Chain A
Amino acid sequence: MSILFFALIALIGLGFFSYNVWKIRYNINLGLPTDRSGQIGKRLKTMILVAFGQQKMFSRPIPALLHLCLYVAFVITQVELFEIFADGLTGEHRLFSSGLGGFYTFAISFIEILSVAAFFATIIFLARRNLLKLPRLNMKEMIGWPTKDANLILIFELILLACIFTMNGADEVLFQRGESHASMGTGDSFGFSVSSFLGPLLFDGLSTGNLHIVERIGWWGHLFMVLGFLNYLPYSKHFHILLAFPNTYYSNLEKKGKFNNMPSVTQEVKLMMDPNADPYATAPETTPPSRFGAKDVTDLSWKNLMDAYTCTECGRCTSSCPANITGKLLSPRKIMMDTRDRLAEVGESKRKNGIDHEDGKSLLGDYITEEELWACTSCNACVDECPVNIDPLSIIIDLRRFLVMEESKIPNELAGMLTNIENNGAPWQFSQNDRLNWANEE
C-alpha cells in the first residue's frame, strides 16, 4: 500500500516537473539560432571550473563560502535521496546500510555534518537578506515576488534539513531501544555524527509508538519537500541549480570585447558598396524577413534566453555596473529578470494561442525602457562578474540596435556623432583631410 502510494507521489512529482522543464525548453527554443558548438574541451573546462568549481563566486569570499556549504550539502545529500527512493519502492528501511556497512555510517555522518553547515549558512543567508539588508539584495527590482522567492527557497531548505534530522534522530532513539526497522544489527547507536547526539536530546521523552510516527514524518516530509522543491524550481530563480551547468558549457568563448557582426547588415552593406550591383534588382527570395536588432525576446538568441532562466538574481552584475553605482536606471540584473518574465509570458501565450500569436506587448518598451539602455557604457563589468557566465550586455546592444536601426530612436548627440562619422569619417566635425595635421603642429 505504502509502496503504491510512494510510487504514485513520485510519479506525479517527477511528471509535473518534466512538463515544466519541457515548457522552459520550449521557451528557450523560441530564440534565434547562435552557434555555440565545437571546442568541446574548452567548453567542458569552463563548465567544470565555473559551474562545478564555482570559480567566479570566490571574488567575494564570504557569500562564496556560505554558498559552497549549501552547494556541497545539496549535491551529497542526493545520496540519501537515492536511498529514500530505494526504500520507498521496495518497502525496506535503510536499504543501503547492510550492504555498505561502515561506509554507510561514514556517508550519512558526512551528510549530517554538511547539513549542519548548510543549516547555519541558510540562517546567515536569511539574515543577510532580511536583517542586514545587503544593498544588492534589496534593490528596486527585488521588491515583491523576487524577495519572497528568495526567502521561500531558504525556508524550504531549512524545513528540508529539519526533516533529515527528525528522520535520523528519531530512528537513532528507536535503534537505541532496539526498535528500529533498520537492518544494522544491534548496538548502542547508529553512530551518525550529528543525529546520535541530537536524536536523544530531542526525542528521548517520546514513546516508541510516537517515535515511529515522528520518524515517518521526517521521512515522508523529506520526500514531499524534495518533490515540492523540485516542482517549485521552474517557477523560481532557483532553477539556476540546473541551468548553471549547460549555461556555462555554452559560454561565449570569444573575447568579451567582440560584438557579433550582423550578417543581415553585411549583406546590405556589400550590396551598397558593390559598383556592379543592380539597384533595381528584386531581393533574392532566400532572404528571410528579419528585424535589425531585438524588440522582443523572440529576436534574441536562445543563449540570451537560457541566460535569463539561469539568472538567480544575486545582483553581482548590478553592484559592479558603473551606471547603476552612479544612480542611473540601468540594472543588468533587471535586464535578465525582465527577459525571463517576458519570455515566460510569450511562451505561455504561444502555447495557448498558437506559435504565430502576438500579444501586442514587447520586451522593449513594456519591460525595458530606452533610458536604461542608453545608460550602458558596454564596459563588460556585468559579464565579468556573473558567476554563471550570463551576458546581459549582448541583450542591451541588441535592443539598442532595434531602437537605432528600426525606429531611429537615438539621443540627439549620438545622432550627430553618427552623421559626423558618415560625412567626415570621425565622430567630431573635423575634415578627413586634416587627419594628419598633428604631425606638423608644435
Chain B
Amino acid sequence: MNLHVPTMAEMKAKGENPEILFWVGCSGSFDDRAKKITKAVVKILNSCKVSFAVLGTEESCSGDPAKRAGNEFTYQMQAMMNIEVLNGYDVKKIVTACPHCFNTLKNEYPELGGDYEVVHHTQLIQDLINTGKLVLENSQSFKGKKITFHDPCYLGRANDVYEAPRKLIEKLDAELVEMKRCKSKGLCCGAGGAQMFKEAEKGNKEINIERTEDAIETAAEIIATGCPFCNTMMTDGIKNAEKEGQVKVLDVAELIANAAEL
C-alpha cells in the first residue's frame, strides 16, 4: 500500500490547511524500528481519510532530551525555532507517536508562544474508533492473545494518559494483562531523562532488564508500548532474556494497523 504523506509546505502551496499536523519526531524519522511505527500511524490516518500533513524536512528535535539533560539553552532554541515554523503554518492540532515530543509540545511550548491542542496517537486512534471512522470488525489477528501494556512515563505519570492505549488493546479482542507495576506505579524502561543517549551509571542491573522481567512475568505474548524509546528498551530486554521467539514488542499503532488489515 502506498503511503500518502503530504507535507505542510505542499499543502500550503495548494492553499490548503490540514486539520492535524503529524509530528513524527526524531526516532520516528530516523530509527529503523520507530519508522515502522510512523508508517503504521500514517496507514491509519490514510485509511480514515484524516486531513493531515507532516513538516518533513522542516521538522526539528522538540528539544526534550536537551531540556532533560539540563541544557535549557539548546532546548529553548529548538522550541522557539519549531514554534516559529508551527505558527507560520497556523497549526492548531498536533498528533505525535512519541510521548517525549507529546509532553514537550503540550506542556512546555505554550509559555514560549506555541499553543496547540496536542494528542498522543493512541488518543487520536481511540477517537477515530469512537467516531466510527476506524472499524475493527471481526478482527482475528489478536483475538484472545495475552497483551500487556508498558506505560511510557511521559504519557502516564507525566500526563495521566492511562486509558486510551488500554481501550485500544481491548478493542482487539485481546486479553489485556497488567504487570505488577502498572499505570501510575509503572516502572520506567530506563530511557527517559536523556538516558536513551548515554550509558547507564554504575549499578547492578540495567533498568530495561528489570522492566522486561515484569512483562515476562505476565506470560504475555505481546508487550505493547506507545513510545519509540520504550520500544527499543523493551526489545533489547527481550533479546537479553532470549525470548525473541515467544514475546514481541509492538506499538499500539502497529497492533491497530495490523488488526484493521492496513
Which residues of A line the B interface, CB within 8 A?
59, 254-259, 261-262, 265-266, 268-270, 272-273, 292-293, 320, 322-323, 325-330, 371, 374-381, 383-384, 397, 400-405, 410-411, 413-414, 416-418, 421-422, 425-428, 430, 432-439, 441
Query: In the complex, are the beta carbons of B70 and A403 less than 8 A apart?
Result: yes
- CB-nearest residue of chain A to B31: A428
Contact of A265 among B60, B73, B107 (CB under 8 A): B73
- Looking at the assembled complex, report how far the CB atom of A10 sits from the nearest CB atom of chain B, in whole angstroms: 45
The answer to whether the Cβ of B168 comes within 8 Å of any Cβ in the partner chain is no
Query: A402 to B69, alpha carbons, bound, how many Å?
Result: 11
The answer to whether the Cβ of B237 comes within 8 Å of any Cβ in the partner chain is no
Query: A329 to B80, alpha carbons, bound, how many Å?
Result: 36
Query: A254 to B160, alpha carbons, bound, how many Å?
Result: 11
Contact of A417 among B108, B193, B197 (CB under 8 A): B197
Which residues of B line the A interface, CB within 8 A?
3, 5, 7, 24, 26, 28-30, 35, 38-39, 42, 54, 56-57, 59-61, 63, 65-74, 76-78, 80-81, 103, 106-108, 111-112, 153-154, 157-160, 184-185, 187-188, 190-207, 210-211
Across-interface contacts of B111 in A (CB, < 8 A)? 261
20 contacts between A and B (CB under 8 A): A257-B103, A261-B111, A273-B80, A323-B203, A326-B204, A326-B205, A377-B192, A378-B193, A379-B188, A380-B153, A380-B157, A384-B185, A404-B69, A404-B71, A410-B71, A413-B198, A416-B197, A421-B65, A426-B26, A436-B57
Contact of A377 among B24, B71, B112, B188 (CB under 8 A): B188
Query: In the complex, are the beta carbons of A435 and B56 less than 8 A apart?
Result: yes
Query: A139 to B143, alpha carbons, bound, how many Å?
Result: 46
Across-interface contacts of A322 in B (CB, < 8 A)? 187-188, 190, 207, 210-211
Contact of B191 among A254, A320, A377 (CB under 8 A): A377
Across-interface contacts of B61 in A (CB, < 8 A)? 421, 425-427
Query: In the complex, are the beta carbons of B192 and A323 less than 8 A apart?
Result: no
- CB-nearest residue of chain B to A420: B61
Query: In the complex, are the beta carbons of A425 and B72 less than 8 A apart?
Result: no
Query: A428 to B32, alpha carbons, bound, how many Å?
Result: 13
Query: In the complex, are the beta carbons of A410 and B69 less than 8 A apart?
Result: yes
Q: Most B CB atoms within 10 A — which of A404, A405, A417, A422?
A: A417
Query: In the complex, are the beta carbons of A326 and B203 less than 8 A apart?
Result: yes
Across-interface contacts of A381 in B (CB, < 8 A)? 153, 157, 185, 187-188
A401-B72 contact in complex given A371-B202, A378-B192, A427-B65, C-beta closer than 8 Å: yes
Query: In the complex, are the beta carbons of A427 and B203 less than 8 A apart?
Result: no
Query: A425 to B82, alpha carbons, bound, how many Å?
Result: 10
- CB-nearest residue of chain B to A330: B201
Contact of A435 among B57, B107, B193, B202 (CB under 8 A): B57
Across-interface contacts of A439 in B (CB, < 8 A)? 3, 5, 42, 54
Query: A326 to B211, alpha carbons, bound, how many Å?
Result: 10
Query: A383 to B187, alpha carbons, bound, how many Å?
Result: 13
> Ordered nearest first, which 10 A-B pairs have the shortest CB separation?
A257-B158, A378-B193, A327-B204, A400-B70, A425-B60, A327-B203, A379-B188, A258-B107, A404-B70, A257-B103
- Looking at the assembled complex, report how far the CB atom of B4 sits from the nearest CB atom of chain A, in whole angstroms: 9
- CB-nearest residue of chain A to B6: A439
- Looking at the assembled complex, report how far the CB atom of A404 sits from the nearest CB atom of chain B, in whole angstroms: 4
Query: In the complex, are the beta carbons of B188 and A418 less than 8 A apart?
Result: no
Query: In the complex, are the beta carbons of B153 and A261 less than 8 A apart?
Result: no
- CB-nearest residue of chain B to A433: B57
Across-interface contacts of B74 in A (CB, < 8 A)? 418, 421-422
Query: A432 to B56, alpha carbons, bound, how many Å?
Result: 9
Query: In the complex, are the beta carbons of B197 and A262 less than 8 A apart?
Result: no
A414-B198 contact in complex given A256-B158, A266-B76, C-beta closer than 8 Å: yes
A270-B210 contact in complex given A378-B68, A378-B192, A426-B60, C-beta closer than 8 Å: no
A255-B159 contact in complex given A414-B197, A438-B29, C-beta closer than 8 Å: yes
- Looking at the assembled complex, report how far the CB atom of B254 sits from the nearest CB atom of chain A, in whole angstroms: 15
Query: A293 to B207, alpha carbons, bound, how many Å?
Result: 27
Query: A390 to B24, alpha carbons, bound, how many Å?
Result: 34
- Looking at the assembled complex, report how far the CB atom of B80 sits from the nearest CB atom of chain A, in whole angstroms: 6
Q: Most B CB atoms within 10 A — which of A378, A426, A434?
A: A378
Query: In the complex, are the beta carbons of B68 and A397 less than 8 A apart?
Result: yes
Across-interface contacts of A292 in B (CB, < 8 A)? 72
Query: In the complex, are the beta carbons of A326 and B206 less than 8 A apart?
Result: yes
Across-interface contacts of B56 in A (CB, < 8 A)? 435-436
Q: Most B CB atoms within 10 A — which of A329, A405, A436, A441?
A: A436
Across-interface contacts of A436 in B (CB, < 8 A)? 5, 7, 29, 54, 56-57
Across-interface contacts of A262 in B (CB, < 8 A)? 72, 76
Contact of B210 among A59, A273, A326, A414 (CB under 8 A): A326
Across-interface contacts of A437 in B (CB, < 8 A)? 29
List 4 additional contacts besides A327-B205, A436-B54; criterion CB under 8 Å.
A322-B190, A376-B193, A377-B195, A428-B30
Query: In the complex, are the beta carbons of A425 and B158 less than 8 A apart?
Result: no
Query: In the complex, are the beta carbons of A375 and B29 less than 8 A apart?
Result: no
Contact of A328 among B24, B153, B202 (CB under 8 A): B202
- Looking at the assembled complex, report how far the CB atom of A332 sits from the nearest CB atom of chain B, in whole angstroms: 13
